[in-house]
């Protein structure tokens, strides 16, 4: 592939869900790569000991979204994105309505479940950007960051390396369940998810409209409306625990040594 063909646009990875919420979680790469500005380049190694491994569950695995977040904070350093076979974690549905106009993904404990996910290897500045985007520094932000250790999560890279763990963002609000009390799985298609959630709840339709497009537009325009939607999930008994909350209890304040332990490999 020619150098110009490594652009995100050429690879179909350029769109950011922050700008196009109904595309959430956005397009993921087919394989590992180095996100360098507007390009996704080949990686020379899969493990980056000098950086912090972060397990991407939703749109953080979308190069277009990552580029959007980093560019907004003036960060230009490349981000290694490494495809991994992860056992013990599934992709659930956050029990909150995002101001970005979608209902995002959240990790859930799922013993025996195997998923193909991405590990981001972030330097300190990049980690601070992602923390801020997930609300970690705020007392009532949507996510907390926690160290998820092996063997709760078995994260195996393509060369056979098994990581001792990774940082992960756990939703403070919990996750939506499937009607039986078990965390539901995020379908990966935002339009389908919003359509189903609206069909199940007249109260949600009253707040956000009858279609996914209306939901997204209203959520992006009104922070208080998003908070009402989040409260409604709990009031309608749609919410359950992710099963990963116990790892958050081991964290200190965001940005402290305790919250980053172990910070590097």
What is the tens place of the pLDDT at every residue in 34-78?
999 999 999 999 999 999 999 999 999 999 999 999 999 999 999
Nearest alpha carbon to residue 131 among 170, 165, 105: 170
Q: How far is 101 from 17, CA to CA, in rounded Å?
A: 9
Q: Could you report the per-residue pLDDT of 137-172, keeping only the tens digit for each? A: 998 899 999 999 999 999 999 999 999 999 999 999
Check: CB of residue 39 under 8 Å from CB of residue 7.
yes
The CA distance from 151 to 42, in Å, is 29
pLDDT band at 4 (very low <50, low <70, confident <90, very high): low
Please provide the average confidence, as pLDDT, over all residues in the chain.
Answer: 92
**Alpha carbon separation from 54 to 3, 174, 192, 221 (Å, rounded):** 28, 20, 27, 30
Domains of the chain (ranges plus CATH)? Answer: 3-260 (3.10.490.10)
Structure confidence at residue 91 as a pLDDT band (50, 70, 90): very high
pLDDT in the model for residue 99: 93
How high is the pLDDT of residue 232?
98
**Half-sphere exposure in the Cβ direction for 80 (13 Å, CA):** 18
State the pLDDT at residue 249: 64
């Amino acid at each position: 592939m020619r150098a110009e063909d490594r652009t995100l646009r050429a690879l179909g990875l350029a769109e950011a869900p922050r700008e196009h919420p109904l595309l959430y979680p956005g397009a993921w790469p087919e394989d590992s790569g180095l996100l360098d500005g507007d390009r996704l380049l080949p990686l020379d190694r899969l493990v980056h000991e000098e950086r912090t491994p972060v397990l991407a569950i939703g749109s953080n695995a979308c190069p277009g979204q990552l580029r959007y977040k980093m560019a907004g904070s003036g960060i230009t350093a490349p981000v290694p994105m490494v495809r991994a076979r992860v056992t013990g974690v599934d992709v659930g549905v956050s029990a909150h309505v995002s101001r970005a106009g979608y209902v995002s993904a959240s990790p859930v404990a799922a013993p025996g479940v195997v998923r193909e996910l991405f590990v981001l290897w972030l330097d300190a500045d990049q980690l601070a950007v992602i923390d801020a985007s997930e609300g970690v520094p705020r007392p009532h932000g949507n996510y907390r960051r926690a160290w998820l250790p092996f063997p709760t999560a078995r994260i195996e890279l393509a060369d056979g390396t098994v990581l001792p763990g990774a940082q992960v963002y756990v939703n403070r609000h919990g996750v939506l369940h499937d009607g039986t009390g078990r965390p539901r799985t995020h379908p990966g298609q935002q339009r389908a998810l919003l359509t189903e959630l609206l069909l199940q709840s007249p109260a949600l339709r009253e707040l956000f409209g009858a279609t996914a497009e209306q939901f997204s537009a209203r959520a992006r325009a009104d922070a208080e409306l998003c908070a009402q939607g989040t409260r409604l999930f709990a009031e309608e008994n749609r919410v359950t625990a992710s099963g990963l909350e116990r790892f958050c209890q081991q964290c200190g304040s965001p940005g402290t040594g305790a919250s980053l332990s172990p910070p590097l490999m």
